[in-house]
Amino acid sequence: MRVLGVDPGLTRCGLGVVEGTPGRPPALVAVGVIRTPAELDVSKRLVQIEAELEEWIAKHQPDAVAVERVFAQHNVRTVMGTAQASGVAMVVAARRGLPVALHTPSEVKAAVTGSGRADKEQVTTMVTRILKLSERPTPADAADALALAICQVWRGGVAGKLQEAASSRSNLEALAQAQSRLQMARLRAAVAAQQGKR
């Protein structure tokens, strides 16, 4: 499974692509940051983010996109920009038919460090170890994007398999019910035929 992680932001939008399966260490495919100048109009900054995300998806062909779920912060201006960049990432993925997963910061931290309260330093250290990187990914936005992708590979893959199993089970149950109804209908028809002969 190949996942593009997006740590949304207007000034810096972290991107990280990893490949792997649940229970095994994933491998780094690509990492980077989309930067947009603060003096540029917000709408133009969002168009720039969209264009670069389109390029990344076309180049790296992910199976899914994981985006950090935006939480209210004290700085409303910051959270607005983050939410706008997050929306662009979701639209770009949806337009290409890719599933989008939203993960909370604490969920991502817990997935890569074992603690939902880990700081950025701990997340970066664990991402470096998990992906066996020779250098720490910088800035923190890049490391966070990789952490999101790792979280989706490990947790999303398991959730997907559980959902698949549940769907398969309900399909089997529906098939069994249909077979049962068919048998009952045949039995009634046979009984009616016997009574008709009498």
Strand order in the sheet with 100-103: 27-35, 12-19, 2-7, 64-68, 100-103
- The answer to whether the beta carbons of residues 3 and 65 sit under 8 Å apart is yes
DSSP conformation letters of 77-124: HHHHHHHHHHHHHHHHHHHTT--EEEE-HHHHHHHHHS-TT--HHHHH
Active site residue 50: no
Which residue in the list 39, 141, 144, 164 is annotated as catalytic? 141
Active site residue 68: yes
Which residue in the list 68, 107, 164, 173 is annotated as catalytic? 68
Q: How far is CA 104 from CA 36, 38, 69, 131, in A?
A: 24, 26, 5, 21
Q: Determine the length of the chain.
A: 198
| Residues identified as active-site | 7, 68, 141
